[in-house]
Chain A
Amino acid sequence: DVKVTQSSRYLVKRTGEKVFLECVQDMDHENMFWYRQDPGLGLRLIYFSYDVKMKEKGDIPEGYSVSREKKERFSLILESASTNQTSMYLCASSSLEAGGTNEQFFGPGTRLTVL
């Protein structure tokens, strides 16, 4: 089974702190994604990566950056956390397989609270 793990389930940080959210997948997937999930707003794509060292902005990249130095690891960075970044953060991965289904496999999420 594909496994996507996230470094923390719950995280509490203070305004202005630099925050690192880590995601690791064990299925050699090319694509990795970071979403945030807020009530009534669904899943919104922050950044994604389709290869090592490659990154693309999603719908809401402002205030975030990402790093992908290894294929299995994709990090989300909040350079200076703000209270409006309090949210559930979900990481996902997928693979480009011939005739594939474009299925994304999600981690359990990190609930970040910024005080």
Chain B
Amino acid sequence: QQQVKQSPQSLIVQKGGISIINCAYENTAFDYFPWYQQFPGKGPALLIAIRPDVSEKKEGRFTISFNKSAKQFSLHIMDSQPGDSATYFCAASTDIYSGAGSYQLTFGKGTKLSVIP
């Protein structure tokens, strides 16, 4: 089974600090790596995503770092705020035109982030 391993399971960060969540994958055919954010009582929503032709993607305070050779990618949240407290899921899939089943996402098990004032 294709897997994406996510760590840590939970994370507590002081307001203003940097939150870092890591994911590792095995399937070298993966070429789309999104992060989803889920607030309590809501469904997950896409936060930011990266393709392996770049090593980093930044959107505001959120940055994905991607290391293709190590088959690892991570989410960095700069200047973490209490409003960032949520569960974060990394995921991976093959390109949507790679063939049957490529529109599936393989999710990590999630990281519950708590940002304390």
> Footprint of B on A, CB under 8 Å?
4, 31, 33, 40-43, 45, 48, 50, 56, 58-59, 90, 92, 94, 96-97, 100-109
B103:A96 contact, CB within 8 angstroms: yes
Assembly CA distance A107 to B43 (angstroms) = 5
Instruction: Please name all residues of chain A whose beta carbon is closer than 8 Å to the beta carbon of B109 when the two chains form the complex.
Output: 40-42
Instruction: Please name all residues of chain B whose beta carbon is closer than 8 Å to the beta carbon of A104 when the two chains form the complex.
Output: 46, 105
B104:A42 contact, CB within 8 angstroms: no
Task: Tell me how far the C-beta of A4 lies from the nearest C-beta in chain B, rounded to whole angstroms.
Answer: 7
A48:B104 contact, CB within 8 angstroms: yes
Question: Chain B, interface size: which category?
Answer: 20 to 34
Instruction: Please name all residues of chain A whose beta carbon is closer than 8 Å to the beta carbon of B83 when the two chains form the complex.
Output: none
Assembly CA distance A48 to B101 (angstroms) = 10
Is B69 among interface residues, defined by CB-CB distance under 8 A?
no
Instruction: Please name all residues of chain B whose beta carbon is closer than 8 Å to the beta carbon of A100 when the two chains form the complex.
Output: 96
A40:B44 contact, CB within 8 angstroms: no
Whether A108 contacts B34 in the complex (CB less than 8 A), given A42-B107, A94-B103, comes out as no
Assembly CA distance A109 to B42 (angstroms) = 7
